[in-house]
Chain A
Amino acid sequence: MILNLQNIYKDYQQDKLVVPVLKDVSLQVEEGEYVAIMGPSGSGKTTLMNIVGCLDRPTSGTYELAGENVLGLKDKELSAARLNRIGFVFQSFQLMPRESALDNVSLPLSYAGIKKKERRERAMKALERVGLGDRATFKPTQLSGGQKQRVAIARAMVNNPKILLADEPTGALDSKSGKQIMELFQKLNDEGVTIVMITHDINIAKQAKRTLHIIDGEISENGREENRV
């Protein structure tokens, strides 16, 4: 099991009020799975994603990432986990506007302390993997939305993480570009990458092999036929 979250609670302090966001959420994902998490806004899906992505810590519960208890890790070790084991894709792409596509993709490699020459080679390979080998020198402003998201995916995959976390990856794209991104996800999943994707678009969620619903901080699974009553 690559992701194993048990009994996760997450509360936010709002003034003097404690607001529960996640209530007893458990989530298990096997290696190579393709999971979609659906839910309306405010349901806690982004919070769950942040916890899965080692950006946030739950108030209580346990989380094992590839068998390792992540909640006991120090700040530095969490950074390393984000760097090497998890790739992030955001709705708004989050590219560095003044850097070329190649430089954007090589950014995580520089955090891994890889030499410049190797960085360029590996970033180039990652760009080719998403079909943008000919756009390496382009700045984000010169790219379409779909291309930007593909650069972001290349950046997420450049360190060859086992897990790709995507937060509304097609939310800012037209349907055609969205479809291309979905095809890319499918390709990555076929190559063995575990994908966890947040969306509120049912058509996008259908691409995944398994869909989870999160409503008011509680998770329910209805993707597997056999789990249905």
Chain B
Amino acid sequence: MFENIRLSFQGIWSHKMRSFLTMLGIIIGIAAIIAIVSTIKGTNKQIEQNLIGAGDNTVDVQVYQGDWPYEFSYNPVPEGLPMITDSVLQEIKDLESVEAASLYLSRQDYSAVYYQNTSLSGGYVTGIDRNYLSTCNYLVQRGRGFTEKDYTDYRKVALLDKDSANVLFQGQDPIGKTIEIKQEPFVVVGIIAKADEFEPVINSMDDYYTYSQDASGKVYIPDSAWPIIYQFDEPQQLVVKATSTNAMTDAGKKSADILNNTLSVSDETICYKSEDLLKQAKEIQQLSQSTNSMLIWIAGISLIVGGIGVMNIMLVSVTERTSEIGLKKAIGARKSIILGQFLTEAAVLTSLGGLIGVIVGIILAEAISRLNEMPVAISVPSAVVAVLFSMIIGIVFGLLPSYKAANLDPIEALRHE
């Protein structure tokens, strides 16, 4: 076997030009497929990242009324919608797909937050529990986070994110300053930011509508201070951190199920729902994938054409080497040995073509990504499959010439010189 492979390389090397031209069809086909697959994978990865964020894996679980989140700003708390208790939260934390879970309350208010005369219009006010920052991967960039005392003493303290700090303070240092939330004074104690700063990549208007969020800033306060400015006994929202990106759907759904078991509302349409970003990402990915899979089929045709080229050149090679085949048979080579030798040669030829094709494809994909500013992700499994597939093409299209060689009449073959 190794002997055959060595001989094949020798044969290929001694006819460099011919071997290269024979491999060209395979090289082009494989390169095209690798380039397309890399582009698809890159786009998909981008879609997933844009929606999910880099490595965050958090899922929001909110109260919905029908298809829309229940608006606590305008509506009273419905009868039979209890607050989430510690034991229920613990039950959620015990789920296999859940790594961490936190409760929060949130309002988008158009004229709630002020610093002197500057307003944070359209900003969010969020009341958070003790673990929220770690659950959602926030880090305190400046100042401090909330302490136990902030919660137990109902202190009116606030954390800002970068956007709200910029809008309210416009370059001044916010730490220690007092802002006004719903006419109540809150002291800014720190500035927080996501551990993995992530900006969605926007390539088109469609992307903009899909991914852009209100970047008008958020203000965080301890959830114990929430009733001071809003209402008592408001049911919290839940954020769960899944153990992996793939576990997000499961974590969100199971958490919502647990919460829905605590409900006793008369309005059937009110229930907890998880925001399934993973599913959304998959849907968008499928759209882009289905168009591109057509391209793969077209590239596949070039592989078949390449295979026919291999068959053609192998037939020539069999004719050229008739006397070699005759001699081998005369000195005792069985049919299967001759068959194996030629099949190996065809397979080595196309595998080599496939390997070169993968390299060319990767270069092509990189070039596409540079030119179009599109992301690419080289997939190792698809490269391996590509080389294996080109090997199979070699074996399939090498069968006829090899069979012809194996069945040569040794006398005819020896006479041929």
A residues contacting B by CB (< 8 A) are 50, 53, 55-56, 75-76, 79-80, 82-84, 87-88, 90, 92, 94, 96, 98, 107-108, 110-112, 155-156, 159
Return 13 A-B CB contacts under 8 Å, by A number.
Answer: A50-B411, A55-B414, A76-B334, A76-B335, A82-B329, A82-B332, A87-B331, A88-B330, A94-B323, A94-B327, A107-B328, A108-B332, A111-B328
**A90–B410 alpha-carbon span in the complex (Å):** 13
Say how far A196's CB is from chain B's closest CB, in angstroms: 15
The main secondary structure of chain B at its interface with chain A is helix
B329 / chain A contacts, CB cutoff of 8 Å: 55, 79, 82
Beyond contacts A55-B410, A55-B414, A111-B331: 14 other A-B pairs, Cβ-Cβ < 8 A, are A55-B411, A75-B335, A79-B334, A82-B329, A82-B330, A82-B331, A92-B417, A94-B330, A96-B324, A108-B331, A110-B3, A111-B332, A111-B337, A155-B331
Q: How far is the CA of A170 from the CA of B335 in the complex (A)?
A: 30
Contact across chains for A83 and B331 when beta carbons are under 8 A apart: yes
Q: Is A83's CB under 8 angstroms from B3's CB? A: no
Q: Complex: how many Å from CA A87 to CA B330?
A: 9
Scan B323-345; emit 1 where CB is below 8 A from any A CB, else 0: 11001111111110100000000
What is the bound-complex CA distance between A94 and B326, given in angstroms?
A: 10
Return A159 CB to nearest CB of chain B, in Å. 7
Residues from chain B with a CB closer than 8 A to the CB of A156 are 331
Residues of chain A contacted by B327 (CB below 8 angstroms): 90, 94
Chain A residues near B332 (CB-CB < 8 A): 79-80, 82-84, 108, 111-112, 159
B413 and chain A: residue at smallest CB distance: A55
For the A-B complex, the count of residue pairs with Cβ-Cβ distances under 8 Å equals: 54
A90 touches B414 (CB 8 A): yes
Q: Using known A-B contacts A94-B327, A96-B324, determine if residue A56 contacts B411 with beta carbons closer than 8 Å.
A: yes
Distance of A96 Cα from B332 Cα, bound (Å) = 15
Q: How far is the CB of A117 from chain B (nearest CB, A)?
A: 13
Nearest CB of B to A19, in Å: 15
- Residues in B with CB closer than 8 Å to A155 are 331
Question: Cα distance A87–B328 when bound, in Å?
Answer: 12
Query: Is A79 in contact with B324, judged by CB distance below 8 angstroms?
Result: no
List A contacts of B410 (CB < 8 A).
55
Per the bound structure, the CA–CA distance linking A107 and B327 in Å amounts to 11
Cβ of B290 within 8 Å of any chain A Cβ, yes or no, is no
The CA-CA distance from A80 to B331 in the complex, in Å, is 9
- Give chain A nearest CB distance to B377 CB in angstroms: 43
B14 within 8 A of A: yes
User: Of B327, B331, B333, which is in contact with the most chain A CB atoms at under 10 Å from its CB?
Assistant: B331
Residues of B within 8 A of A96 (CB): 324
Given known A55-B410, A94-B323, A98-B10, contact A107–B334 (CB-CB < 8 A): no
Near A by CB (< 8 A), chain B positions 61-107 give none
Separation in Å of the B1 CB from the closest CB of chain A? 11
